Copies of this chain bind each other. A is one copy, B any other.
Amino acid sequence: MTKLAQLQAALNDKGLDAAYISDPMTINYLTGFFSDPVERVLALVIFANDDPFLFAPALEVEAIKDTGWTYPVYGYLDHENPFAMIADHVQHHAGTLINWGIEGESLTVDRLRSLETALPHARFNTDLSPLIAQMRMIKSPDEIAKLNKAGKWADFAFKIGFEAVQVGKTEQEVAADLEYALKQHGINKMSFDTLVQAGPHAAEPHGATSDNKIQNHQLVLFDLGTIVDGYISDASRTIAVGSLNDKQKDIYKVCLEAQLAAQDAAKPGITAEELDQVARNIITAAGYGEYFIHRLGHGMGSSEHEFPSIMEGNKLELQPGMCFSIEPGIYIPGFAGVRIEDCVHITDTGCKPFTHTTKELLTFPK
């Protein structure tokens, strides 16, 4: 059963007539076509009892046909009213439909109001976001193969990035070197902005790569990922530049212990919050609990923003096929930051990582 047929079956189960799918990642997942239409309208309309159609900016129509999409695709021009046109196509395909599902996590309020105007008899009360997230949470062997492939390129990027590290070089220059090497190999999309952060700058865990210069006796944090065949990698490593003091060594050691313990504990049956606790207990016992200020991990697959979320309060039991990051961090403002991260997939008996760069503390330049 295709993913599209699965969703169609779910519509029938829920007594829905149709679904308005608007998240570009979901459209990619269901159709194999990815595009970020930004302020333009891209929609997949799925009927409970009829063939679906895609609706897209006119300038995307050729690319959609090229992907092998066999159902109708309708384009619109910038000066046309997309929602009125969608309503006409719906009427033409299936008549007046009442019960619609939407993706509440991504559909904007304005667009819902435009749909309500264009389809005055329709009710958009059912949020399909949780169901779609659920479908996307368990990865197929084919998806896991793609995630492994993306992971290999992250390992390659670490190798280049570590070797590019020099005292006096900026974080940006190191990031530029590793991205350039990837592009020379045809890997031209990162899954998010590459993070290289040296010394105290790494204590801003979601700060940006900057012109901050790498200095001797610093920890340097890398967080990076690639996109390959629509699937991502995401991994973090922290390396040493020159010799470190005892406190720097200690936060690395504690973070690594937490990461390894969590990766060891990740298997079917443990809950997401229990897994978070495995890492958090180690960091807290070492006295750094207040500096681990985010969840242990996030789901990943086509993006790094999927389920399951590995955090306090999530009582979901892990199951084979779930994919997520295990990324404890210790961020001491004004001092240093450490994060060590692999993304893994749950197997029948444990978990396997998508990235394999050593997690022993490495020192560069060699």
Which A residues have a C-beta under 8 Å from some C-beta of B?
A: 35, 38-39, 57-60, 62-63, 77-79, 102, 104-110, 112-113, 127, 129, 170, 172-173, 175-176, 179-180, 183-184, 186, 188-189, 193, 203-207, 209, 211, 293-295, 305, 309, 311-313, 331, 333
Contact partners of A105 in chain B: CB under 8 A: 108, 110
Complex Cα–Cα for A186 and B79 (A): 39
Q: How far is the CB of A224 from chain B (nearest CB, A)?
A: 14
The chain B residue sitting closest to A203, CB to CB, is B62
Contact partners of A313 in chain B: CB under 8 A: 79
Complex Cα–Cα for A104 and B204 (A): 31
Q: How far is the CB of A100 from chain B (nearest CB, A)?
A: 12
Contact partners of A35 in chain B: CB under 8 A: 206
Q: How far is the CB of A133 from chain B (nearest CB, A)?
A: 11
* A293 and B127 contact, Cβ closer than 8 Å, known pairs A109-B102, A184-B173: no
Cβ-defined contact, B113 with A108, below 8 A? no
Complex Cα–Cα for A186 and B38 (A): 27
The chain B residue sitting closest to A211, CB to CB, is B186
Partner of A59, one of B102, B107, B113, B205: B205
Contact partners of A186 in chain B: CB under 8 A: 170, 172, 211
Q: Which of A58, A105, A108, A170 has the most CB of B within 10 A?
A: A108
Complex Cα–Cα for A313 and B77 (A): 12
Cβ-defined contact, A176 with B172, below 8 A? no
Q: List 11 A-B contacts (CB under 8 A).
A: A57-B206, A59-B294, A62-B333, A78-B295, A78-B311, A104-B109, A176-B179, A176-B180, A179-B180, A188-B209, A189-B193
The chain B residue sitting closest to A329, CB to CB, is B59
Q: What are the 8 closest A-B residue pairs judged by CB atoms, nearest first? A: A176-B183, A104-B110, A79-B312, A78-B295, A104-B109, A180-B180, A79-B313, A172-B188
Q: Which of A170, A188, A293 has the most CB of B within 10 A?
A: A188
Contact partners of A179 in chain B: CB under 8 A: 176, 179-180, 183
Cβ-defined contact, A204 with B63, below 8 A? yes
* A294 and B129 contact, Cβ closer than 8 Å, known pairs A186-B172, A188-B209: no
Partner of A183, one of B62, B175, B206, B312: B175
Q: How far is the CB of A39 from chain B (nearest CB, A)?
A: 5
Q: How far is the CB of A210 from chain B (nearest CB, A)?
A: 8
Partner of A175, one of B110, B188, B331: B188
* A108 and B107 contact, Cβ closer than 8 Å, known pairs A188-B172, A188-B175: yes
Q: Which of A58, A184, A311 has the most CB of B within 10 A?
A: A184
Complex Cα–Cα for A207 and B60 (A): 8
Contact partners of A62 in chain B: CB under 8 A: 203-204, 333
Partner of A109, one of B38, B79, B112: B112
Complex Cα–Cα for A298 and B305 (A): 30
* A108 and B108 contact, Cβ closer than 8 Å, known pairs A176-B188, A206-B35: yes
Contact partners of A113 in chain B: CB under 8 A: 104
Complex Cα–Cα for A209 and B78 (A): 23
Complex Cα–Cα for A75 and B349 (A): 38
Contact partners of A180 in chain B: CB under 8 A: 176, 179-180, 183
Q: How far is the CB of A64 from chain B (nearest CB, A)?
A: 11
